[in-house]
Amino acid sequence: MPADLDTYAPLKQVKAFDPTAVDEASSFRSEVTLYIRPQSLRRVCEFLRDAPELQFKFLADLTAVDCYPQEPRFETVYHLLSLKMNERLRLKVRLPGADPRVESMVAVWPAANAFEREVFDLFGIVFEGHPFLERILMPEDWEGHPLRKDYPVQGEITRWP
């Protein structure tokens, strides 16, 4: 794991594969994060999974962060693991606060199925192309998305007359 991003092989290979896909790359505590543009996500994920010297075949985790009130408000976070290289990589996609949508990764990693449902349930981010995008933890008639930062934790939304 590098302190120096310029020599980090997965980043170099992704850049060689698609020079416009990575918006930004950062490293903190020797964990690398790549910010991927939403329209390139599917291609980059398939590349990372299938490239013979990378083989990020294991989707360890998929979640989201709400950066309210900043814009773009949401970030979906993908933690990839390569059993072959024994390497971890974090991908992030920035999404707008109004009508956040991103392509589903179920076709790339079937493991994404439940994780994406959880993010949809708790953040209200829509994963386009997901085979069964329903609430998974909250009751199906629940209103709102509890992990959003502007969710009223005390209960009902106060409406002033």
User: Does position 65 bind other proteins by CB under 8 A?
Assistant: yes
Question: Cβ(157)–Cβ(76) under 8 Å?
Answer: no
Nearest approach in angstroms of CB 129 to other proteins is: 17
Q: Is the peptide bond before 72 cis (omega within 30 degrees of 0)?
A: yes
25-29 contacts, C-beta under 8 A, 24 or more apart? 27/2, 27/3
Q: Which stretch binds other proteins (CB under 8 A): 12-20, 40-48, 95-103, 137-145?
A: 137-145
Q: Spell out, one character per residue from 75 to 114, where the chain touches other proteins: x when CB under 8 A holds, - when not.
A: --x-x---x--x-x-x------------------xxx-xx
DSSP H or E segment with residue 120:
helix 112-123
63 beta partners: 77
Q: Does 147 bind other proteins (CB under 8 A)?
A: yes
Q: Which of 54, 59, 102, 125 binds other proteins (CB under 8 A)?
A: 59
Per CB under 8 A, 157 contacts other proteins: no
Residue 13 touches other proteins, criterion: CB under 8 A:
no
- Name the nearest CA neighbour of 52 among 9, 19, 20, 21: 9
How do strand 22-28 and strand 74-82 relate by DSSP bridges? unpaired
Residues that bind other proteins (CB under 8 A): 28-29, 31, 33, 57-61, 63, 65-66, 77, 79, 83, 86, 88, 90, 109-111, 113-115, 118, 122, 134-140, 146-147, 153
